[in-house]
């Protein structure tokens, strides 16, 4: 059912939970995962990747962050590749266009986007993706919420 799953990762702290959920889906449906990040070109002057992680860890760029999660999925037998997309106008439009171009069956979005990394307003991006996506959209919940609501 979900042969190609596009996973938008923009927050290394929330990615662990998202990757765990995606791994379960991929194993169940024998899916291929596309780990995706949208970044603004340097010329636009809004790329805030440099130094974004100084407090938590050494600085890393989008490709190296996604490659780390790709390796984790590969350790568990899940096929994945990394796709860093240049975003010129809208993160949502970039994600939806990529989903259409690659015949994506499911888009996984974080519950909250990291506005420091986007360079754009993150409000409404997930809603815009849900409205325009050519496929199903899953909004991943953070682990803390899952633990809080577990009975």
Q: Where are the domains of the chain?
A: 11-110+126-140
Quote the CA–CA distance of 14 and 79 in Å, as a whole number. 21
- Is 11-110+126-140 assigned to CATH 3.50.50.60? no
Q: Are 114 and 11 in contact (CB under 8 A)?
A: yes
Give the pLDDT score at 40.
64
- Report the pLDDT value the prediction gives residue 115, as an integer from 0 to 100: 53
Summarize the confidence of residues 13-22 as an average pLDDT. 83
pLDDT at 107 over 70: yes
pLDDT value at residue 113: 64
- The predicted model scores a pTM of 0.75
> What Å distances lie between residue 127 and 14, 86, 118, CA to CA?
19, 20, 16
Task: In whole angstroms, give the CA distance from residue 145 to residue 136.
Answer: 22
pLDDT of amino acid 114 = 54
Of 31-35, 62-66, 79-83, minimum mean pLDDT range = 62-66
Instruction: Quote the radius of gyration of the chain (alpha carbons, Å).
Output: 15
33: number of CA atoms within 13 Å, CB side? Answer: 32
Instruction: Kindly list the distances between the CA atom of residue 38 and the CA atoms of 31, 93, 113, 122, in Å, as whole numbers in the listed order.
Output: 22, 10, 11, 12
Distance CA 84, CA 62 (A): 7
For the CA atoms of 9, 14, 18, 19, the dihedral, rounded to the nearest 10 degrees, stands at 80
Specify the 3-state DSSP secondary structure of 87.
coil
Q: How confident is the model at residue 33 (pLDDT cuts 50, 70, 90)?
A: very high
pLDDT at 73 (0 to 100): 92
Dist CA 117 CA 13 (whole Å): 13
């Amino acid at each position: 059912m979900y042969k190609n799953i596009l996973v938008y990762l923009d927050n290394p702290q929330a990615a662990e939970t998202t990757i765990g959920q995606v791994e379960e889906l991929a194993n169940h449906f024998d899916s291929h995962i596309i780990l995706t990040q949208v970044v603004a070109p340097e010329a636009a002057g809004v790329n805030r990747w440099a130094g974004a992680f100084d407090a938590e860890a050494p600085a890393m760029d989008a490709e190296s962050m996604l490659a780390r999660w790709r390796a984790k999925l590969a350790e568990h037998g899940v096929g994945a590749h990394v796709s860093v997309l240049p975003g010129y106008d809208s993160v949502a439009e970039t994600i939806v266009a990529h989903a259409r171009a690659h015949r994506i069956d499911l888009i996984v979005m974080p519950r909250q986007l990291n506005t420091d990394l986007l360079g754009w307003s993150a409000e409404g991006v997930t809603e815009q993706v849900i409205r325009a996506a050519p496929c199903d959209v899953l909004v991943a919940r953070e682990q803390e919420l899952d633990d809080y609501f577990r009975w």
